[in-house]
Amino acid sequence: MTFASHIFRHSTQVPITLLSIASHIFRHSTQVQDGLTARAGGTSVSGMVLSRGISCSDVQLRKSFSTNSGLPPHQELGMPSLSPTMTEACSNLTRWLKKEGDHVSAGEVLCEVETDKATVEMECMEVGYLVKIIHGDGAKEIKYCRSSSIPYMLILEVAKGLVRGPELVIAITVEDKDDIEKFKDYKPQTSNGASPQDPPASTPAKEEVIEKPVSPPEPKAVKPSSAAETDRIFASPLARKLAEDNNVSLSSIKGTGPDGSIVKADIEEYLASGKKDLPAAPSRADKTTVSATSYTDIPHSQIRKVTASRLLLSKQTIPHYYLTVDTCVDKLTKLRVELNSLQEASGGKKISINDLVIKAAALALRKVPQCNSSWTNDYIRQFHEVHINVAVQTDNGLYVPVIRDADKKGLSAISEDVKILAKKARENSLKPADYEGGTFTVSNLGGPFGIKQFCAIINPPQAGILAVGSAERRVIPGSGVREFKFASYMPVTLSCDHRVIDGAIGAEWLKAFKGYIENPETMLL
């Protein structure tokens, strides 16, 4: 008997205490194993096994052998937590790759689940038949268990109403093909044993004397809105006389007296300001017209939710400061032309300015490792590897895939990685290994959009992000009198976490970065 089935089976019996549930489970349940695994980036994240005395970091109600009356043994497959960075206890089900009645084998993909950052495949671990799909294609916010360590915590989740069993179940499987028809009309059970789709069963009417509470007397108060409803303006007699003598309309004056009434001081202030009659307040019909403006509510995607929460966290908790410098890119542009001619001759892909920027940023991080760090409450963690996240805008939202060991890779390898990851981001097919573990971020709005200069928000837990603007041609003084020449300059802005990167350290990093950009041949050494 599994943990999940035990809780749901007891939900229709006499209420029992949490302690008795926990003791019964630890006494009778020696092992609970789920029936699902998530495959992400070639790594299989299998279901956790719970046994007496073993802690579990990701407890989920994902499989249970139900004992419903009239139904054979079956497995209830639940929604797993497929991303380590998910902060909400729910996921979206994109589509099913299997349909009801299909035979499933161990390792076969059942469906695709949208996490906070990507769409991840979920596969089955046991042989059987998919007999019932509870949540179909496009189902939103399907809950998974948020418990963190031991089964007792999961009991608390269910008992407190934070998680209900049926909300965790997405499908039903059986081992015997002959049992498929028996689940044709299956509906998941709620905590009181009734189907969530069915209305509550009717009970015999009970004649009860219900005492109608005595309603308290309504307070007699003058409502401010009554003035607007009756077009009556409240003003003191002295204020009315003063307004009449000066030919001032009371409707043009906002009262500061009790309940918004106009007093003498309001008239005197109006006359002293020399104002003319203000336009009358909009009528109710005008307000209705304004409020009736058409609009469309666009539901939040998972990536939009996590981007919003992380950026808000960054601006609220990280003390940002910004350093901007102009870099001459004439030599960089010339080197790029020469390298691309070699790439074309060898059948390779072209190298972009952004690829050179990523390489220069990675080498500058290696030279100034204090910027390749992150803040914790107890220490500053300085990373030994340089992994550069690159901001990629898509129709679904903002993604930041990571270029691993960017300081050790050649320009052609960086260019290839950026193109592959950008394509996967636009196709919403990034795996966790494609975006996790970055130590620094580069965001370029100059090349694609022509933005001259901007300040980017730090991507936590990193300590810095580089914002790259567009290059522009400028006139600069020459070596002689009345001499001048043209040069192209690209502004870049470094956003720093002041807890980790002091101003002088940030300036030192920008100096190293500018040296690589203005003398790009040093990047090839």
Residues marked active site are found at 498, 502
371-391 in b/e form (b: 16+ CB < 10 A) is bbbbbeeeeeeebeebbbbbb
Query: Parallel, antiparallel, or unpaired: how do β-strands 440-444 and 464-468 relate?
Result: parallel
Question: What is the side-by-side strand order in the sheet with 169-174?
Answer: 75-78, 169-174, 128-133, 103-104
* Backbone φ, ψ for residue 77 (5° rounding): -90, 130
The Cα angle at residue 189 between residues 187 and 192, in degrees rounded to 5 = 145
**Cα–Cα dist 449/143, whole Å:** 39
**Cα–Cα dist 230/154, whole Å:** 60
Rg of the chain on CA atoms, in Å? 33
Question: Is 115 within 8 Å of 142 (Cβ atoms)?
Answer: no
Tally of helices (H runs) and strands (E runs) in the chain: 15, 23
Question: Is 385 within 8 Å of 405 (Cβ atoms)?
Answer: yes
Eight-state DSSP code of residue 107: T
Residue 164, classed as helix, strand or coil, is: coil
| Interacting residues of 208 by C-beta distance below 8 A, sequence separation 6+ | none
